[in-house]
A = this chain, B = another copy of it.
Amino acid sequence: MSKIEKDLPLILVTNDDGIKAGGLEALVKMLKQIGNVVVVAPNESYSGMSHAITVKTPLYAKLVRQKKGLMLYKVNGTPVDCIKLAINVLLDRKPDLVVSGINHGTNSSISLHYSGTVGAAREGALNQVPAIGFSLLNYSHSADFSEAIKVAEHVVKSVLEDKLPMGTFLNVNIPDVMPVKGAKVVRQSKGKWIEEFVEREDPRGRKYYWLTGHFENLEPEAKDTDEHILEKGFASIVPCHLDATNYSLISYLKDQNYELQM
């Protein structure tokens, strides 16, 4: 870590599109102006990997670049693997911030459950590090991240100044419009994926399926959701927690005799 300057915040960066993705490059360029940046990212795309960890195969970390205030490692693992390996092996102190992205494509509403970008931010929070996942609503390799970077810079600086309560991370989505109107703090919209599996037949006559589908907002009238605000041309900032408990159901289930004496 000899190339890392003291006193600047230490920012750990990953993504799920892989170390060569344009969204990561744009993000790192901006973050270098703010702090010391260590990138630990998958060697290839790990989209749809959610909070998955690699348990069957060992992980390799290869240092691919090192210059003043910036180190880049690539890892043969998921975004969550990258965060774990960085915090426990590669970094010599706990980072001040975990930033994941900028993802090529949306992670709003329930899509956050499938997202490796969001998984990495959640893993930051699980390690008591403030964390942010950024996603741009454009899947193209050649997407223009210039508006997204303005949002990201504002949110990163806000978190570094104010911190986030422990065990919290932000899921930030940015609409693919020019210009973006701003950013709003909102809640996760209720939604569902309408799945359509494409059926094909292989040369040996066996059917196989490709997952595809489209998203449906189940609360099109609600004005306080990420889906609504993205449609209006604003970035959405959803504060997320690690506690999956639905507290409103605890007494209900007790009343319904879910408890048992054996």
Contact surface of A with B, Cβ cutoff 8 Å: 45, 47-56, 58-61, 80-81, 84-85, 87-89, 110, 112-114, 119, 122, 126-128, 147, 150-151, 154-155, 158, 162, 164-165, 167-168, 171, 179-188, 190, 192-193, 195-197, 199-200, 206-211, 235, 237-247, 249-250, 252-254, 256-262
Given A52-B52, A112-B244, A245-B239, decide whether A85 and B193 contact each other with a Cβ distance below 8 A: no
Given A188-B244, A245-B239, decide whether A211 and B55 contact each other with a Cβ distance below 8 A: yes
Residues of B within 8 A of A190 (CB): 167, 242-243
Copies in the complex: 2
In contact, B59 and A52 (Cβ under 8 angstroms) = no
Residues of B within 8 A of A258 (CB): 155, 158, 162, 183, 185, 237
In contact, B114 and A51 (Cβ under 8 angstroms) = yes
In contact, B244 and A197 (Cβ under 8 angstroms) = no
Given A50-B50, A183-B258, A190-B167, decide whether A246 and B241 contact each other with a Cβ distance below 8 A: yes
Chain B's closest residue to A151 (CB) is B260
Complex alpha-carbon distance, A254 and B239, angstroms: 11
Chain B's closest residue to A198 (CB) is B58
In contact, B182 and A257 (Cβ under 8 angstroms) = no
Residues of B within 8 A of A207 (CB): 60-61
Kindly identify which residue among B89, B182, B200 contacts A259, using a CB–CB cutoff of 8 Å: B182
Chain B's closest residue to A235 (CB) is B260
Kindly identify which residue among B84, B150, B165, B245 contacts A249, using a CB–CB cutoff of 8 Å: B165
In contact, B179 and A243 (Cβ under 8 angstroms) = no
In contact, A126 and B256 (Cβ under 8 angstroms) = no
Kindly identify which residue among B84, B151, B158, B253 contacts A237, using a CB–CB cutoff of 8 Å: B253
In contact, B52 and A114 (Cβ under 8 angstroms) = yes
Min Cβ gap A114→B in Å is 6
| Residue contacts A-B, CB under 8 angstroms, 16 given | A48-B52, A53-B211, A55-B211, A58-B210, A59-B210, A61-B207, A88-B196, A126-B192, A154-B260, A179-B262, A180-B262, A183-B258, A185-B259, A237-B259, A238-B245, A240-B245
